[in-house]
Structure 1
Amino acid sequence: MKLIHKLSIAIACAALAVVQLSSCKKGLDYDNVGAMSPENVWKDSTMIQAYLSDIYGGLLPKWPFNGSASDEGISTPRSLGDYQRGIISASSEASNTKLDYKYIEKINYFLDNLAKAPATVISAERNSRFAAEAKFWRAWTYWGMVRQVGGVPLVLHTQDYLNKPSLFVPRNKTSECIAQIVKDLDDAIQVLPASYPNASQDYGRITKVAAMAFKGRVLLTYASPLFNPGGDAARWQSAYNACKAAVDAAVSAGHALHPNFRNIWYQERNKEVIMVNQFWYPIHANTFNGIRAEPFTRDASNNNQPLLSLLLAFPKRDGSPMQFDKNQLGDPAYNAAFMNDFYTNRDDRFYATVFYGGTPYPTPDQIPPSYVSGNSYWNVWKYDAASGRYTNASLVIHPGIPGNPGITGFFDRKGLDTTVTSALVYQSGTDWPEIRFAEVLLNYGECANELGKSGEALQVLHDIRQRAGITPGAGNTYGITATATAGIRDAYIRERQVEFAFEGRRFDDLRRWKRYDILNSQGGRHGLYITLKDGQMVTASENIMDPATRAKFTARYVDNLDGDAGVKFNLDLNHWFFALKPDQISQSQNVLLQNKEWGGSFDPLQ
């Protein structure tokens, strides 16, 4: 039974108790402890847990479908965000953020009242554990703001709304915020179990391992160039210690890399999952309609269509990088060799992350006679030399198939619920693993590299690549040729791009590394059009993995999928922290100070 289901039952039972007690007990002097009032929450342990469950429900992260924030995917032409294009200002929603204390307030209220709850209402053990879970979420919420803007006002107890002047709290230094976040996490780590004995009821609650892993994530970012441009080794040491401890705790608790990368998202409660938001229909369903190809979805479609940069990022089966030279695509021999490597010689993560035309779409949908089960969905291209234009060939291969075929021919495959048809697209039950063991490993390995522990750093890369089906090769290096810190650092940048593709990590990683230049160097958003050769055609029963069928195609480079040379990556390299919303500064009676990068006096590096 999933956690949220269990928590919903608890809330429903509490509400039922209200009805039963109020209908059975009468008398003017009766203290109706079942009434839904703030005071009565603290007289009933079930209601206390329901309050904590509400915090979980509001803060558990969901599936991120934001590939267009970086060089992972594109949804529609000319949709690149202003921030990515370098169009920024303190008043622009693309480059500012609002400090949101909604859940800080809820958590502080919860902790303050929980501390006063007597043992006759809630046992000391449950009280301590609930407080630890709440402190994790306070750290989580503060970090969500600090990583965007630097230091924020630290409010650690319920505020008196009647004392208006006390509500205007100045920003704490970033270092003070980090110290408080770490303190809350350390408090949680001391109390939380590595796993819950009643897994059927409590699976999904924050564990000691999740708190340790999150602490490692925080300190890794705090040690990275975004917050640590001077490369203070002490910060890297603190991050290394936290990440190494998280790895050790995870292993002791039974966590490990799932042996099959694709099945991380299809085998629930597997050993790789450390922090999870569980989804299931009908109470807490998920939907992947936005990333599905348009013929097989409804209400939204074609988001996260992979860009060329992501398609080429996945290494070959021997761990070596994909070789691509757009200037040689006109050579038939080079093009054929590239196509062979591209489709048949990639690591397992490519096939788990990317859907490509010429194979069956991985859902039960049928659109007869245009598309029937077992056939390939061909999202490929034809080129008209006379007009110099590409047209999508799907409507020719699948006459009458509905919808917009998209603009790349590739789609986001990762985690896609393969059990529901387009009619049931809102009934997905695929869980979101916010923290998985692979991240804990890579965080640890990255810290190790920055401290000169190259052996440890390389071993992590080898383990990650071994799971991806990459062969060891000569020297058991799994295709990693780097041996020194700078080269290994670049290897981590590439590995994280592949391992966490479409998991909402790419843009945050580039920002903490201060490597927007990786995006800017690409200019426009490039594509790879798999194009029918002149005079060639395929049928729905053919498959691009067949060499004879694949020979009917050639790979074509598309320089700008947006169709507009002015739409390109041009991120500002002088703005790394976001601005505070000007109206929030004015509402604070200017107690809140703007960041230096945006004309203010607050230094987020202090």
Structure 2
Amino acid sequence: MYIMSKYLNIALALGSSIILFSSCEKFLDTAPQGKYTEDNYPYPEGGSTYDQYIFPAYNDLRSYSVHVDGFVNATSIRSDDADKGSTASDGGADVIAMDNFPVLPSSGRANSLWLGYYGLINKTNRAIHLMDSVQNPNQDEAMKIQTEAEAKFIRGYSYFMLVRLFGSVPKFDKWFEDPASQNNIPQSTAGEIYAFIEEDLKFAAQNLPDVWDRQYIGRATKGAANGILAKVYLTQKKWQPAYDAANMVRGSGLYDLSQSYAEIFSEKGENGKESVFEIQGTASADQQTANGIQYANLQGVRGSGNWNLGWGWNVPSPVLEAAYEAGDPRKARTILYSSTTATKHFSLFNEQMPVYPSEVPNPMYNHKVLSDPALRNSISRGSWWMNIRILRYADIVLMMSEAANELGRTDEARTLLNEVRERARRGAATGVLPNVTNTDQAGLRDKIRHERRIELAMEHDRFFDLVRWGTAQTALHAAGKTNFQNSRDVLLPIPQAQIDITKGVLKQNPGY
């Protein structure tokens, strides 16, 4: 369960080193951002001597085990909105089980997720340990607390992923100098883990800045902490705290729905007014993968030549395709259609798509991860520079809407819901996506759930939403995933490798 911190050290003339961190100015700057040099040592303005302790955790947010393979499989391919894609046998039994259930205790991807998120937790615990044990006489206490808040934000987010993926998991609230000692700690209940997550995120929300200097884009903010905290509360049906936490984000005035839906997922749209928290990737012709994320590559069109963009995994499902209202512009930005012998289809960049099934194995792909062809031609086909949108402002508004409705405030809930629909229909034909008019709680609940599905399609919330609503088995069976059993498959199995390492201290989830 223990993963040693892997430092990406940059040697400095002064004999010190510091951890690599990516930035937003990804294609305009001639010098890499987010690393310290002789010119700005010991740290740039706005940073602190504590940065070196937290940067390894930020770096790991981009890792394959955290936000790429297992993440896409567990959060999206398991849902009714997506299928595995690619060829029938690609990925083997492990990926096919993520799509069609059950996932086995021997699953390499489940184990990778366990290791990835506990690796992040280990790095945050180590950062807090070092901040407490290493004297920094030139740094004030406020900056130390702020960096601790960053560590607790990442730790809280990591535990939120773990508890939703696995249920009862061990709680490590300190750094273990002897990694083997972690193997003796049993699982805490899901309730205990949620209480710990709330504690971490509330500390983060109280002590993080509203915004960072541009050179530090991507670091956790007060809005990100309150936004994730709102989702933590929503998952537990704590409606008033969920509403209050989301309203803190809304009330900050730092975010809005002014970006068009088509722009949000482009390189131009990264870190815009819609963005509450994004994982940052960057790349160049010389550094095509080292500072990026394989997220878009995993989902890229699986073709040849100019369309050899990736693995072709995580493709929109026919039931998602059918769920859109007539004329909804979000459908075109989410579903990238392959051409057929009878019909030509084009990408948002006006590129003619290859033909299904002779040139590509799938009729649809995820349009939200398609990168700019100019960058594909100048950097690489892999698109490792694409950011991952973890939390958007539209999600905040929809969480507020759901919480308000469950609290009986249907008028407010309807108004919030219609804000999202208004942005979605901008530029569409008259009559498309009219305002919702429901005045009853049950009817509005269905409308809010539908809107979450469409607005956040292919963005890693659908499976978790189905589970917390109690509708997973009905929805997944309707999508043809009839092996799903609510008594077993709402959680992944505890990896058998981890049970073996702990000599049975960890206990398996029901049904496996």
Sort the TM-score into its range (normalised by shorter chain). Answer: 0.7 to 0.9
2:120 to 100, 103, 109: 103
Q: Distance in 1 between matches of 2:281 and 2:360?
A: 29
Q: Distance in 2 between matches of 1:598 and 1:506?
A: 23
1:594 and 2:508 correspond: yes
Aligned residue for 1:195, secondary structure, equals coil
What stretches of structure 1 of length at least 5 have no aligned partner? 1-7, 21-44, 224-234, 317-345, 365-373, 381-391, 393-402, 525-567, 600-606
Aligned residue for 2:278, secondary structure, equals strand
Amino acid at match of 1:310: L
The alpha-carbon distance between structure 1 residues 411 and 83, as it changes in their structure 2 partners (threshold 3 A), is closer
How many aligned positions are there? 446
Q: CA deviation at 1:243?
A: 2.4
8 Å contact 1:84–1:569 — kept in the other structure?
A: no
The alpha-carbon distance between structure 1 residues 584 and 236, as it changes in their structure 2 partners (threshold 3 A), is same
In structure 2, the partner of 1:53 is: 55
**Superposed CA offset, 1:325-374 (max 9, x none):** xxxxxxxxxxxxxxxxxxxxx1221121122334564387xxxxxxxxx7
Aligned residue for 2:188, secondary structure, equals coil
1:416 and 2:416 correspond: no
Q: Distance in 2 between matches of 1:153 and 1:455?
A: 42
In structure 2, the partner of 1:185 is: 201
In structure 2, the partner of 1:570 is: 483
Q: Distance in 2 between matches of 1:431 and 1:485?
A: 37
Q: CA deviation at 1:465?
A: 0.7
In structure 2, the partner of 1:176 is: 192
Identical pairs, percent:
25
In structure 1, the partner of 2:25 is: none
In structure 1, the partner of 2:31 is: none
In structure 1, the partner of 2:248 is: 245
Deviates more, 1:113-122 or 1:82-91: 82-91
Q: CA deviation at 1:115?
A: 1.9
**Superposed CA offset, 1:388-443 (max 9, x none):** xxxx5xxxxxxxxxx733242x3321141123476531355333221110111111
Deviates more, 1:55-64 or 1:568-577: 55-64
In structure 1, the partner of 2:22 is: none
8 Å contact 2:80–2:475 — kept in the other structure?
A: yes
Question: What is the root-mean-square deviation in Å for CA atoms of aligned residues?
Answer: 3.5
Q: Distance in 2 between matches of 1:97 and 1:293?
A: 24
Q: CA deviation at 1:463?
A: 0.7
The alpha-carbon distance between structure 1 residues 97 and 512, as it changes in their structure 2 partners (threshold 3 A), is farther
In structure 2, the partner of 1:313 is: 323
When the two structures are superposed, what TM-score results if normalisation uses the length of structure 2? 0.76
Q: Distance in 2 between matches of 1:421 and 1:119?
A: 42
In structure 2, the partner of 1:120 is: 137
Q: Distance in 1 between matches of 2:500 and 2:383?
A: 44
The alpha-carbon distance between structure 1 residues 170 and 299, as it changes in their structure 2 partners (threshold 3 A), is same
Aligned residue for 1:274, secondary structure, equals strand
Q: Distance in 2 between matches of 1:375 and 1:217?
A: 37
The alpha-carbon distance between structure 1 residues 521 and 165, as it changes in their structure 2 partners (threshold 3 A), is closer
1:216 and 2:171 correspond: no
8 Å contact 2:283–2:385 — kept in the other structure?
A: yes
Q: Distance in 1 between matches of 2:219 and 2:86?
A: 38
8 Å contact 2:302–2:310 — kept in the other structure?
A: no
In structure 1, the partner of 2:15 is: 18
The alpha-carbon distance between structure 1 residues 89 and 308, as it changes in their structure 2 partners (threshold 3 A), is closer
Q: CA deviation at 1:152?
A: 2.4
In structure 2, the partner of 1:362 is: 347
In structure 2, the partner of 1:465 is: 421
8 Å contact 2:77–2:314 — kept in the other structure?
A: yes
Aligned residue for 1:126, secondary structure, equals helix
8 Å contact 1:11–1:50 — kept in the other structure?
A: no
The alpha-carbon distance between structure 1 residues 161 and 303, as it changes in their structure 2 partners (threshold 3 A), is closer
8 Å contact 1:442–1:461 — kept in the other structure?
A: yes
What stretches of structure 2 of length at least 5 have no aligned partner? 1-6, 18-46, 90-94
Q: Distance in 2 between matches of 1:473 and 1:299?
A: 36
8 Å contact 2:329–2:424 — kept in the other structure?
A: yes
The alpha-carbon distance between structure 1 residues 518 and 278, as it changes in their structure 2 partners (threshold 3 A), is same
8 Å contact 1:96–1:581 — kept in the other structure?
A: yes
**Superposed CA offset, 1:532-587 (max 9, x none):** xxxxxxxxxxxxxxxxxxxxxxxxxxxxxxxxxxxx43311212233323342343
The alpha-carbon distance between structure 1 residues 88 and 203, as it changes in their structure 2 partners (threshold 3 A), is closer
Q: CA deviation at 1:594?
A: 3.2
The alpha-carbon distance between structure 1 residues 427 and 347, as it changes in their structure 2 partners (threshold 3 A), is closer
In structure 2, the partner of 1:582 is: 496
In structure 2, the partner of 1:351 is: 332
1:202 to 188, 192, 216: 216
8 Å contact 2:184–2:502 — kept in the other structure?
A: yes
Q: Which has the larger radius of gyration?
A: 1
8 Å contact 1:274–1:435 — kept in the other structure?
A: yes
In structure 2, the partner of 1:85 is: 100
8 Å contact 1:257–1:438 — kept in the other structure?
A: yes
**Superposed CA offset, 1:228-247 (max 9, x none):** xxxxxxx2223222222332
